[in-house]
Every structure is written in C-alpha cells, then in structure tokens.
Amino acid sequence: MCRLVWMFCLLLALTTFSAAQLTPPSGWNMQSTGDAIVMTSPAQNPGTHVALLLLQPGSPIGPLKTWFASQTATLAQISGRILEASQVKEQGGILFRVIQVENQNRIKLRLVFYGYASTRGISIPILQVPPAVPDNDPLVVTATQYVLQLAAQKFELNPTTQPAAQPDMQPAQSNSGWRPKTDIDLTYHAKAIIPKERDVPLKGVYVFIGYAFGPSYGGVGTTMTWGQRATQQLLLLFANGVAAKTDLKGDNLAGHHQAEGFATMDVANPAAVAGAPYGHWTDNGDTIHIQWNIGGPTDLAKKGNALEGKGERWTPFQLVEGERLEGAFVRKMEAGLRSQWIVLHKNGTFEGDGVNVTMGGEIVSPNFPAHGSGTYDVHKGSMILFFQNGFTQAIACIIDAAPNGDARTVLLNGFPFERVR
C-alpha cells in the first residue's frame, strides 16, 4: 500500500489536467448502478479488471480528515472484511487512502479512496484493484490520472448524470468470482423489518463485557491489529432454537455489530441463519448448549440468572421494547458545525434532521432522508423509523434513562442524541 501512496503523489506532480468529461478512459466500459457510475477496464486475463466507482458527493461533518477516514472505513466494510488500512494522506488538496478487504468470495481487493472538494460537498471516487494487478500496472495509472482530472474540474455526480452510450461495449466478466457491479456496490440498503407473523420471540438476551483475542480496527487513521481487545457482546436465544452472538457496539469494524438492531434479524428463515454469527441452542436443565454453525460448541452453566462458561460470564440484558418517548434529542457537535436532532412524541410520531448520519450519511445511505418525519416503533433493540415518503429504516437503539425514568440519551447505532427538552 505504501507503493500506491508514492505512485499517487508522483502522478499528481506529473499529470497535466484537461477538461473532465464523463466518458471513461479509452477502452473502458461505463454503466450506471443505482446512484453510482462504474467504469470497468479491459483485461487480458481473468481477474485483472480494474474498476472505478463514482458516487454522489457527501457533506462532511466535523474535521475533514476524520470524516473522510470514517466514510472510507464504512464503505470498505460494506465491500468486505477489512484486513489493512493506511492512514489518510493529503496531496495537492486531494485526500487519499488505501484499504485492503476480503470480499464474500474470499478474494482480497485493494480499495483506493480519493476525496476532493466539489460543488455540493466532497466527492469520493473509489478504485478497486484485484489481487492479480500490481500497484504500478498501467490500468491503475490510467485510473489515477483520470481521477486527478476529475478533481481538477471539481466534477461531481448528480442524480441526472447518465453515462455516454457505448453500443459496442459489453460489461466485463471474469472467471475469478469477481463481478464489478456487485463487489463495488457500496450503497447501504436498508434491511426489511420482519413481519409480525414471522417474528420469532426471544427467550433470553445476555451481555458479556470483557476481553477477547482476535482482529480489531482501532479507529480512523489506524490499521487492523490482532491481539487481546475489550469486547461487549450480546447472546440472543430465540424461541425456535436459533442462537446468535453479535457485538453490542459498532466501533470494532472487525466484529459482527447489528447496526439495525434485531427487528431485521430473520431467524425464521433457515437460509438466513445458516452461517455466522448463528447456531442452535438447547436447554439441558442446568446448562445451555450452543452448537455454532462456524466454530466449536459452547456450554454455559446456569448460575442464578446468569450464564457462565470458560472465562465468560453472561448477564441478562434488556433490549428496548415498545418505548414511547416525548422530547427533543440532539447529537451535539463542536462550535461551527451543525448538530443533528430527532424529536420523538408519545403518539408515535417523529421529526428528524441529520439522523441519516447514524447509517453512514448520504454517501453510504442515499435513500435515507436527511430531513423528514413520520412514525416510529421500538422493537427488539431497534428504533424503526417509518418516513412519510415510504422509506423505512431500523437503527440499533439503546436508551439511557435518568433516575426518574425519563430518557436522557438515545443511542442510535452508537451515536448519542442527548435530551435538550
């Protein structure tokens, strides 16, 4: 990844900028995919396609480099499991970062993120490089030069942008299991709420707070590390015998955090619970036995209302359920930056501004309204927002109550919204 950083700086110094047109480099294919445009290179051998993804610009919140690091980490996590991440660099007013991921097909890809100022915010083109392509490959050089030209013209994608017609070009394919259209679709798609007739009740929820050995991503601008890390995990035991273990908090990108809460967890669907982090549990009287789909079994002895295993103690945990709140809650930002807020009412209605930041903001979740109103429900640790335009989003929710019982902080996917009235 250091070679990619060096090459970017060299190209920035040598490139002569010309007017940027929304036509791909010579020989490349271009197609629309959702709210993005994908440019795919030619390839002489299977698995050597390079792809460039253009997204609509985002609006920075907080310090620019911190926001860019957070956005790129979120985008990379959608694409696959993060293996390594470089720090954010800046050269000539352009931000630059490389993140290596392993996708669902076990293919390790290098994602090169660029960031530059455009009219409506910060545009983040993403270059996807498969493992068979070296950093100094002419295709990587061509794509980098193309991005630098876009940055010089402050080009940004908008909802009306359409790729130029290319009747003689066909979407690139390969035999490696890598498909540009699917692997670089970094848009988050809201998961469906499980209907009542298929909603399996929970028999028990437990939390473990301690230390575990494994991979962790310490935060923006850092790299993946292995070792002992603090962890907060939830164990869910469903009435149909399905067990699930997830991270309670989402700051560890190497974990299994349920960003939507559990109102979207479809444990009645055998296909949905066939892999991690699921298993099957049985109650043997004084012991809970869990056979995980991946990994060895777990036996947890009942100790009062808690469960104990080897080096583990799981205590009961209450997911929020059915709450109706009355008040205004604000995610307070530093001076000069706009805060986000949500107003919740006892009658089940809400108004919100900037709540989409909880699911990555407009770059990651373009369908999540930045401003809007509607009705809400609280179920299985999720706050479900039903917007008037028909969009629905479940968000992991924890409510911190004051001694008088009133909610003082609403945590939405780890983002604190504090009561102001």
Q: By C-alpha distance, which of 22, 20, 31 is closest to 169?
A: 31
Share of the chain above pLDDT 70, in %: 80
pLDDT beyond 80 at 280: yes
Phi (first) and psi of residue 193, to 5 degrees = -75, 135
Distance CA(415)–CA(397), nearest Å, equals 9
Tell me the mean pLDDT in the region 58-70.
Answer: 87
Most confidently modeled range among 184-188, 249-253, 254-258, 320-324 = 320-324
pLDDT beyond 90 at 308: yes
Q: By C-alpha distance, which of 71, 124, 100, 77 is closest to 3?
A: 100
Model pLDDT, residue 170: 37
The DSSP element (H or E) to which 4 belongs, if any, is: helix 2-14
Model pLDDT, residue 78: 78
Model pLDDT, residue 213: 54
Bridge partners, 383 (sequence order): 378, 395
Phi (first) and psi of residue 312, to 5 degrees = -130, 145
**98 touches 112 (CB < 8 A):** yes
- If one counts every other C-beta atom within 10 angstroms of the C-beta of residue 202, the result is 17
Instruction: Average the pLDDT over each of 161-165, 172-176, 200-204, 242-246 and give the range with the smallest value.
Output: 172-176
Tell me the mean pLDDT in the region 337-359.
Answer: 93
Per residue in 23-32, pLDDT (tens digit) is: 888 899 998 7
**136 touches 7 (CB < 8 A):** yes
Indicate yes or no: pTM above 0.85.
no
pLDDT beyond 50 at 220: no
pLDDT band at 403 (very low <50, low <70, confident <90, very high): confident
The DSSP element (H or E) to which 287 belongs, if any, is: strand 287-292
What residue type is 110 in one-letter code?
A: R
pLDDT beyond 80 at 218: no
Residue 89 burial by CB count (10 A; 0-12/13-18/19+): exposed, middle or buried? middle
pLDDT band at 110 (very low <50, low <70, confident <90, very high): very high
Cα distances from 21 to residues 146, 164, 166, in angstroms, run: 10, 10, 15
